Structure 1
Amino acid sequence: MKWSEICIHTTNEAIEPVSNILHESGASGVVIEDPQDLLRDTAPLGEIYELNPDDYPKEGVYVKAYLPVNSFLAETVEEIKQSVNHLTEFNIDLGHNHVTVSEINEEDWATAWKKYYKPVKISEKITIIPTWEDYTPVSSDEIIIEMDPGMAFGTGTHPTTVLSIQALEQYLEKDDLVMDVGAGSGILSVASILLGARHCYAFDLDDIAVTSTMNNARLNQVESQVTSKLNDLLNGIEMEADLIVSNILAEIIVRFTDDAFRVVKPGGYFITSGIIAGKKDEVRSQLIESGFEIVETNKMEDWVSVVARKPE
């Protein structure tokens, strides 16, 4: 079977929304080629990179996805271009915004995933591994999360995800009820359970994300503690949560801070990520306006996470 590789040359800020557009267009996963990765042979938490500089742009990033070659391909590519261009209405910098399409054999496509995806330790306790890799834990308290990039929504090693999991590790308490808003692959839902939450409700507007979350929950044997469902942010949610986590665009976070304040229990936390550094103050201000106290702000590369708390 023939596959078409679509490559979008864009910015770090646009990675998340562009990736979402590709997934909604039928891609089963994305590859991010960021030249910043070449600057760290060994990350502080022990990630080992095996990367070829020729694969990377001089500036910006490549976001790549694979679509089957069929009679609808040209129409799909044109719809992707239009959707990406539409992101400028959200004040998202698209950079070069150059789109190229090339053909690739299925065998090469299957192999391509593996050169980008290795075991990675992303926090003090958590290591993410691809399903095909053999990995031996280095400590007795290490938590292993298995992920399959073919399930869509990336591998879980993007800075926004790392920041979210590091915050979960710090603020989640045993038997907490967690809500994961904009769950994507469900990696934050899985991490919450493995860190001690009694249950996690994963909400997303994309039915592919709902399925992917449950697939990953089953892969990590926590499906009985994860409920994944279609929902528009926290609209209509009446139950209370001890902790809410949302790795999503800053433009979306600011839309539901009031609902988050309503849903989270007094003393509970709202962990937000997916925030490009230039929009940090906007998110912080909106959280404060909704009634939250800012606990801390963390940064990794060009990305920021903000941890807020509802006063008791």
Structure 2
Amino acid sequence: MIWHEVRIKTTEEAYDAVTEMLTSIGAGGVAIEDPNDIISELSKPDSLDYADEEFLSSLEEAVTIKAYFSEEKNISELTSLIEEKLKFISQFLNVGEGFVGTSQVDDEDWSTSWKKYYKPLNLTDKLVIKPSWESYEKKNDEIVVEMDPGMAFGTGTHETTQMCSILLEKYVKPGDKVIDLGCGTGILSIIAAKLGAEAVTAVDIDEVAVKVAKENCAINGVDGKVSAFRGVIDDLKKEKADIIVANIIANVIIDISSKIPSYLKKDGLFVTSGIIKERSQEVLEAYTKLGFKCEQFEELGEWVAIVFRCLDSL
């Protein structure tokens, strides 16, 4: 099958919002190439890879997003729509250069092009993310999560994923019930399950992400604990969770604020990220007005993660 590959060059602060936009208008999958992730990993003293200065200097500063659309799409109409959506996002975030072009690729090219950017990563001292095609020797009590992003987006190296992982490691207790909103590749659902959660409900609006999440759960042996499906929070059964995690964007986090108490136990925790620093106060205000208590506030790079405690479940 032939796909339209749409290329966008954007910034670290905007790529989550741009990715969300692309999936919302029908992208069958999105690949992200963030040179900052590569440089950060290769620069670590214990990095598993080596790159010379020439390679590092060849990397661009911009984040490149490659989105894939069915060949049935009218490419002219599609690019016009994307440029219109980027203009809207630019009212709130610096989107950088924006749309830079299109090309056609087949399934095989798409499914392998991003692998060179994805290497084993220590999210925390205990949590390690390992691509399915890489070897890794487990140390002591490490929890190794094997991931194959496939045609879904993200590699697990983004600051928001790292912060959510650290917070889940801190707060998930054996027997907990967890909801993962906007599960993507399923990385946070798998982490929650491996940390001892009894049951995890993973939901995403992108059917490709849900498919990949299910595959990753099976690879990690937690498919008996994690139920993944396509949908939004309104599609969930009204069953109370101990923890809800949502690594999405500020607008959505604010929009769903009034719905969270219906799915969270009293004293339950809402762990959320995908929030740029400039929007953090809006998120704090939206939740504290509803009676949530800010339990923990973390910053990493340009991003914020917040843990809210639900003081009054509905």
Deviation of residue 176 (structure 1)?
0.2
1:47–1:121 Cα contact (<8 Å) kept: no
SS of structure 2 residue aligned to 1:196? coil
Distance of 2:278 and 2:239 partners within structure 1: 33
**Residue 279 of structure 2 corresponds to residue 279 of structure 1:** yes
Judge conservation of contact 2:111–2:151 (CA < 8 Å) in 1. no
The corresponding residue for 1:121 is 122
Q: Which amino acid aligns with 1:87?
A: I
Residues 146 and 39 of structure 1, relative CA distance in 2, 3 Å threshold: closer
Question: Contact 1:284/1:294 (CA < 8 Å) preserved in 2?
Answer: yes
CA deviation after TM superposition for structure 1 residue 266, in Å: 1.8
Deviation at 1:48, TM superposition (A): 5.4
Change (3 A) 1:256 1:235: farther
Which amino acid in structure 1 is aligned with residue 180 of structure 2? D
Quote the residue 1:84 is aligned against.
86
In 1, Cα distance between equivalents of 2:48 and 2:264 = 34
Aligned position for 1:265: 265
Name stretches of at least 5 consecutive residues in structure 2 with no aligned partner.
Answer: none
1:91-240 equivalences under 5 Å are 91-102=92-103, 111-137=112-138, 139-234=139-234, 237-240=237-240
Identical pairs, percent: 34
Query: 202-211 or 117-126: which moved more?
Result: 202-211
Q: Distance in 1 between matches of 2:298 and 2:49?
A: 23
Unaligned runs of 5+ residues in structure 1 are: none
**Alpha carbons 1:46, 1:121 under 8 Å: kept:** no
Deviation at 1:283, TM superposition (A): 0.9
Deviation, 1:133, is 0.8
User: 239-248 or 61-70, which moves further after superposition?
Assistant: 61-70
Q: Distance in 2 between matches of 1:9 and 1:246?
A: 25
Contact preservation (8 Å) 2:184, 2:204: yes
**Partner residue of 2:256?**
256
Deviation of the 1:130 alpha carbon: 1.1
Q: Deviations over 1:110-132 (max 9, x none)?
A: 55322201111111211111111
Q: Deviations over 1:160-179 (max 9, x none)?
A: 11111111000111110001
* Aligned-pair CA distance for 1:47: 7.3
What's the RMSD between the two structures over aligned residues?
Answer: 2.9
Decide whether the 8 Å contact of 1:244 with 1:264 is kept in 2: yes
Distance apart, 1:135 and its partner CA: 1.3
Q: Note if 1:31 corresponds to 2:23.
A: no
C-alpha distance in 2 between matches for 1:200 and 1:159: 23
TM norm structure 2: 0.86
